[in-house]
Amino acid sequence: MVNLYFQPDAQLTAQDRLVLNILQKDYERYQSKHSQSQPEASEDSDDSGVKHTRFESTSPEGNCSIAQPSHPAQVEEQTIQRLKDLNNPKSSVFEPTVFVSVDYPDIKNPLVRKWLIDPYVRWARAIVRVDTDVVMLTHLLLYFSTSIPSAVYMFYNFHWWHGPLHLIMQVYYMGSYTLMMHQHIHMRGILNKKFAAIDLSFPYITDPLMGHTWNSYYFHHVKHHHVEGNGPDDLSSTVRYQRDDVWNFLHYVGRFYFFVWFDLPRYFFRKRKPELAFKAGACEIANYVFLYTMFNHVNAPATFFALLMPLAVMRLGLMIGNWGQHAFVDELKPDSDFRSSITVIDVPSNRYCYNDGYHTSHHLNPLRHWRDHPVAFLVQKKQYSDEDALVFYNIDYLMITFSLLAKNYMHLARCLVPIGDQMKLSLEERAEMLRRKTRRFTEEEIAEKWGKQYARLK
């Protein structure tokens, strides 16, 4: 009996494997229950050439192994408790995140653990704000020992071979850095409050090197995007766009690229928040003045590779990511966080980018700590099912966007983890369901769903 289409990636986090295993078992039980009275779903006989696989989720090296009782509710209860214990510093099974590329328990060498890793973890836990977040100090040390020295040397003595290599390094860092800063802007810092001065100041050094303008991420994301929630007044809203159309996507990206410096302050003025308007505009313009000065009066080639190209790449990445996160908007309840955002169980979003795949969970509670998303998802799993939320695996936001622009709905349907009533649908029906959720909303529909004050009616 076929359940999910792809073998889960071996690099999935232990937490993601536990979550995916629960969803897989739900689907197995549904199919077993209906297999006697219904013929096999059409997806089982499609001729796509994709190898259909089932899997049993076992944690790497047994890190998250749990005694599996027979009753599904007990399995879920034990899994939830296990995930909570992994995040609880007082638990005997607590695991901090130290590196994004390797899990803490998988570092087996006893000498390395005794003399290097364990002392570092003890020291770092006293510096970071949340005990699980040793990885954030790891990354700060990484950026201050690579990105900053490399950029400084470029401005001091530029070589044409150095510029592209530096840019490649920065692009590699951008995802993890941006989602570290995502935690920073929501929680007002990532370091212990004893180090508040460092916490406040380091973004002014590292943000420009990673393609961010000063404080713009905070003003746009926290003070604007989470207030509007992808609604019609959200400057990064997708609802007025046809989300599988290239020209609509290019318009979406172009508006952000060239007009966010003007649109965001204007938005705050329109919402009667002049202080935020001034701060957002001042920070954005100050950053552009800084870039102009560095290019024209300091070192043009170094500025191009160290500051301008990262800005261009980052803004494109932010728009591609947001398009994928909010491409599927329910035609009946578009203002529901469950139905206007998605959950992604994959490697890049969750292992390297601090569980960014749990985007619905983040919109439901923007202050939720990144390590708490998997357990929060399982606790609310029934509500996700009842609300017809979308869960994907084996695909990240980048590839969701590219698949949409290629209108490859069959691939997206294969990456869907069916929950609730979605389990009744054939592969083709899932693809059609996803297609419906990418349709542009008319102004009349916006007036009906959100209110006339949000529509641009003539």
Domain-located, residue 157: yes
One domain, residues 51 and 110? no
Domain-located, residue 135: yes
Tokens 């890793």 correspond to what residue?
Answer: 117
Pairing of the two strands 342-345 and 390-393: parallel
One domain, residues 219 and 312? yes
Tokens of 361: 């969970």
Contact 378, 76 (CB under 8 A): yes
pLDDT of 323 reads 97
One domain, residues 279 and 193? no
Tokens 């959200």 correspond to what residue?
Answer: 234
d(CA 284, CA 41): 53
One domain, residues 352 and 435? yes
d(CA 246, CA 402): 10
pLDDT of 73 reads 86
One domain, residues 119 and 26? no
pLDDT of 57 reads 42
d(CA 389, CA 412): 15
**Which residue in 12, 14, 44, 13 sits closest to 27, CA to CA?**
44
One domain, residues 91 and 104? no
317-337 burial, b if ≥16 CB within 10 A, otherwise e? bbbbbbbbbbbbbbeeebbbb
pLDDT of 393 reads 97
Tokens 């965001």 correspond to what residue?
Answer: 264
Domains in the chain, number: 3
Residues near 377 by beta carbon (within 8 Å), at least 6 away in sequence: 19, 343, 358, 360, 361, 384
d(CA 108, CA 101): 15
Tokens of 193: 């409050």
Domain-located, residue 64: yes
Tokens of 246: 């290239």
Residues near 165 by beta carbon (within 8 Å), at least 6 away in sequence: none
Domain that holds residue 430: 14-95+330-446
Domain-located, residue 7: no
Say whether 57 sits in a helix, a strand or coil: coil
Final residue of a domain: which of 164, 193, 210? Answer: 210
Beta strands in 286-389 (DSSP E): 342-345
One domain, residues 376 and 291? no
Final residue of a domain: which of 168, 193, 210? Answer: 210
DSSP class of residue 259?
Answer: H
One domain, residues 308 and 354? no
Domain-located, residue 6: no
Q: Beta partners for 358?
A: 343
One domain, residues 300 and 379? no
In 3-state terms, the chain is what percent helix, strand and coil (to 5)?
65, 5, 35
Final residue of a domain: which of 277, 299, 324? Answer: 324
Start-to-end CA distance of the chain, whole Å, equals 55
Contact 377, 343 (CB under 8 A): yes
Domain-located, residue 451: no
Phi (first) and psi of residue 111, to 5 degrees: -70, -45
Domain-located, residue 2: no
pLDDT of 4 reads 82
Q: Beta partners for 4?
A: 53
pLDDT of 72 reads 83
One domain, residues 145 and 111? yes
Domain-located, residue 109: yes
pLDDT of 38 reads 53
Phi (first) and psi of residue 410, to 5 degrees: -65, -40
DSSP class of residue 219?
Answer: I
Q: Beta partners for 393?
A: 345
One domain, residues 391 and 338? yes
Residues near 71 by beta carbon (within 8 Å), at least 6 away in sequence: none
d(CA 415, CA 430): 10
Say whether 342 sits in a helix, a strand or coil: strand
| Ranges in the chain, pLDDT < 50 | 1-2, 39-63, 65-66
One domain, residues 335 and 316? no
Count, residues in the chain: 458
Phi (first) and psi of residue 390, to 5 degrees: -105, 130
